[in-house]
Amino acid sequence: MKDHLQVYPLSEAANPKPVEYVNMTGKSFNTIHPNTFEFYEHLNVLIQEESDEMLDDETKGLFASIGIVKGEEFNPTAREREILTDAVAIANAAARSNNYYPTGDLKNLVYFYKDVPTEWVMAYPDKNVFYNYGKKGFNTDARAWFHYTYTAVTPSMATPHEGRGSDYCMAFKDSEHKVFDGSKIYKLHLPPNVPMADFMALTIYDTQTRSQLQTDQPYPTVGSNDKGFKQNKDGSYDVYFGPKAPKGFENNWLQTIPSKSWFVVLRMYSPLKPFLDKSWRPSEIELVK
Number of domains in the chain: 2
Q: What is the pLDDT of residues 21-51, one digit of tens each?
A: 999 887 878 888 899 999 999 999 999 999 9
pLDDT at residue number 288: 97
Helix (H), strand (E) at residue 205: strand 196-206
Distances (CA, A) of 179 to 173, 176, 243: 4, 9, 16
Q: What are phi and psi of 257, to 5 degrees?
A: -110, 125
Please state, in angstroms and rounded to a whole number, the distance separating the CA atoms of residues 139 and 105: 9
> Same domain for 236 and 259?
yes
Secondary structure of 161-195 in the HEC alphabet?
ECCECEEEEEECECCCCCECCCCCCEEEEECCCCC
pLDDT at residue number 84: 98
> Same domain for 126 and 76?
no
Please state, in angstroms and rounded to a whole number, the distance separating the CA atoms of residues 170 and 178: 15
Ramachandran quadrant class, 228 (left: phi over 0; alpha: psi -120 to 50; beta: rest): left
> Same domain for 69 and 212?
no
Q: What is the pLDDT of residues 128-150, one digit of tens each?
A: 999 999 999 999 999 999 999 88
Residue 1: inside a domain: no
Distances (CA, A) of 117 to 120, 141, 165: 9, 21, 28
The partner residues of 168 in beta bridges, in order of sequence, read 267
CATH number of 133's domain: 2.60.120.600
Q: Which of 100, 125, 152 is the last residue of a domain?
A: 100
Range of the domain at 252: 104-287
Q: What are phi and psi of 107, to 5 degrees?
A: -60, -40
Residues 6+ apart with CB under 8 A from 58: none
pLDDT at residue number 157: 83
* Local structure of 74: helix, strand or coil: coil
> Same domain for 183 and 234?
yes
> Same domain for 187 and 248?
yes
pLDDT at residue number 213: 95
Residue 146: inside a domain: yes
> Same domain for 63 and 157?
no
**Spans of the chain below 50 pLDDT:** none
Helix (H), strand (E) at residue 241: strand 237-242
> Same domain for 83 and 186?
no
Helix (H), strand (E) at residue 120: strand 120-121
Report if pTM > 0.95. Answer: no
